[in-house]
Chains A and B, each alone.
Chain A
Amino acid sequence: MCRQLAALGAWLTMTNETLILKRIGPIIEANIHFGDLTVMVGPQASGKSIFLQFLKLLVDTGPIFHTLKLHGLDWRKNAADFLELYLGEGTGRIWNSQGSEMIWRGERVSLDELVRAKRKAGVERSFFIPAQRVLTLSRDGWLRPFTDYKPGDPFAVRDFSEKLRLLMEGLGRSEAVYPQPKRLKSEIRKLLSRNIFSGFQLELEKTGPQKRLVLSDAEHTRKLPYMVWSAGQREFVPLLLGLYRLLPPTKVKRRGEIQWVIIEELEMGLHPEAIETLLVIVLELLWRGYKVCLSTHSPYVLDLVWALRNLRENKADARAVIRIFKIKPGPTTLDLGRTALQKDARVYYFDRESGKTRDISNLDPASAEKVEAGWGGLTELSGRVANAVADAVAAGESR
């Protein structure tokens, strides 16, 4: 009986992972029930980023307040001032004390009360990788500290940048940052080396007091500084360093205190082969037990969600998952695939017109709902292209 009650409690906790935001900026009503993997799609400025930053705020109120105060930033217990510091300059008015609402795990939370309350720093439960991650590296190839940004720059960027800097400061002199033998599964390392680093290594180079990240060839004869990296490499390196924090090189599956991983625009600046590699890393994050939230403009991310759903419904085994990524089946990769098939993945569309969200998790290409059939606009063009070609071929016959 006790075990049943405990199971029911666990189930209720799990099923109550819901965040509802109302009348905040472009969001009229966003209602998201989180799965193990939650993907948010929608056009620019539809509220995805605001939503994810509010999620972070609710999960990590104490640590956020503590970090801001540590750097001498004060919002004078005022919601608008807080948002100017947290979301960034010009966002103070998106919260309206009369109309805006937040309902987190079934309970209404007032931002006005939240910013007035005293909070213990506590431990962070989420790790946020912002879309502007490329800004975290300066021109000389080193990570910018929190104080290097202006107070009006988004907290998510400053905080992420600082965390990476501290991670890198912890490394020794002239150390290989990538690859590291115990970091990441060997199959993932192979994919990264091929699809992102083209055989180069990422190294920490220290000359006198100056530290910088460089790419070097296998023989260490050629060193490429930050300014000559490809756009994709510049985008990817901060993301990789962020992932290092989440994928400890020990036998421990995950950093115990972190439960949520939030990644904005996973695909930013990357070729589809590199995106494919990142999707394997997403599977690794799920395997380690993190709850992963992504925003994306890439249909490849939805391809993965759609595949997992259909593979599961058709009782496919882990090999089918592994085959998608052309990686060698072995005990660790098959375990990755097996875990992925057990996870609950959800997709939400942020509709800029109505300001509301829609659950399009089924991703049914034949759905009568155009938003679902067109995967929130990500495949709509492809569908129209295919039908335009089909009609032109058909019309060509009768000419």
Chain B
Amino acid sequence: MTFEKAVRSTAAILDHFQKGLQGIREADRNRLQCADTRRLRGSVDLDEALRIVHPNASRWDYAIGIRDTLSADLVVWIEAHPASSSRHVGDVLKKLLWLREWRAREAPALDKMPARYCWVATGKISFPGTSPEARRIAQQGLRFPTRKLDLDELARPPRR
């Protein structure tokens, strides 16, 4: 399944598919790094797309498709959020929980695709990689926050 097909089959966001990184707000796009742009399979601003339908939910920010293997794309789920206090760990994990519930309920095609969960810190990070917080988020499937996310590093080269 390609990322685009999965997005187009999800009623709530089908009109929000964008090519490359165009679905990412400019301020946050600068927090991403991708040398091999040919592998980008599109992006969606989930927060914006779901704002009206789920106004009070802890909405997740973005989804980006990356060509991973010949048969399936990898979906990189990105939350741009401060990480300057340990309370932010709870906030982001709450959003992650919401994302998983929303996807299971309203986006089954995306739910089946290989995923990476990434937290892009919008400022300082208040906990080190050796902290219990780092392990807590890892156990929930969320990568350690970074201020500049390297998309190339996340995707494996496609198998031939």
Partner of A386, one of B112, B113, B126, B144: B144
**A185-209 toward B: CB 8 Å interface, digit per residue (1/0)?**
0000000000000000000000000
Given A382-B134, A395-B114, A398-B115, A387-B126 contact (CB < 8 Å) = no
- Residues of the A chain whose Cβ atoms lie less than 8 Å from the Cβ of B113: 398
Q: Answer whether A393 and B138 are a contact pair too, CB < 8 Å, given A366-B146, A398-B113.
A: yes
**Is A390 in contact with B137, judged by CB distance below 8 angstroms?**
yes
Question: In this complex, what residue of B is CB-closest to A391?
Answer: B116
Chain A binding site: helix, strand, loop or mixed by DSSP?
helix
Please indicate the chain A residues that have their CB under 8 angstroms from the CB of B142 in the complex: 390
User: Is A151 among interface residues, defined by CB-CB distance under 8 A?
Assistant: no
B115 near A394 with CB under 8 A, answer: yes
Interface hits, A107-137 → B, CB 8 Å: none
Using a CB-CB cutoff of 8 Å, which residues 94-118 of chain B contact chain A?
A: 100, 111-117
Selected from A299, A366, A383, A387, the residue in CB contact (under 8 A) with B121 is A366
Whole-angstrom CA separation of A303 from B128 in the bound complex: 8
Task: Check A398–B129 contact: CB distance below 8 A.
Answer: no
Name the CB-closest residue of B to A389. B138
Asked whether B130 lies within 8 Å of A394 as measured between CB atoms, the reply is no
Assembly CA distance A365 to B116 (angstroms): 20
Interface residue tally of chain B, by bracket?
Answer: 20 to 34
How many chain A residues sit at the interface, stated as a range, is: 20 to 34
A residues 364-399 near B (Cβ < 8 Å) are: 364-368, 373-375, 379-380, 382-383, 385-387, 389-391, 393-398
Q: Please tell me if B125 contacts chain A, counting CB pairs below 8 Å.
A: yes
| A178 proximity list for chain B (CB < 8 A) | none
A389 and B135 alpha carbons, distance in the complex (Å): 9
Chain B residues with Cβ below 8 Å from A365 are 125, 127-129, 144-145
A-side residues, CB < 8 A to B, are: 299, 303, 306, 310, 363-368, 373-375, 379-380, 382-383, 385-387, 389-391, 393-398
**15 contacts across the A-B interface (CB closer than 8 A):** A363-B128, A364-B125, A365-B145, A366-B147, A382-B130, A383-B134, A383-B144, A386-B134, A386-B138, A390-B137, A390-B140, A390-B141, A391-B116, A393-B138, A397-B100
Q: Which residues of B contact A (CB under 8 A)?
A: 83, 100, 111-117, 121, 124-130, 134-135, 137-148
Q: Would you list the 10 A-B pairs with minimal beta carbon distance, nearest first?
A: A393-B141, A383-B129, A386-B138, A394-B141, A366-B147, A389-B138, A379-B129, A390-B138, A366-B125, A382-B130
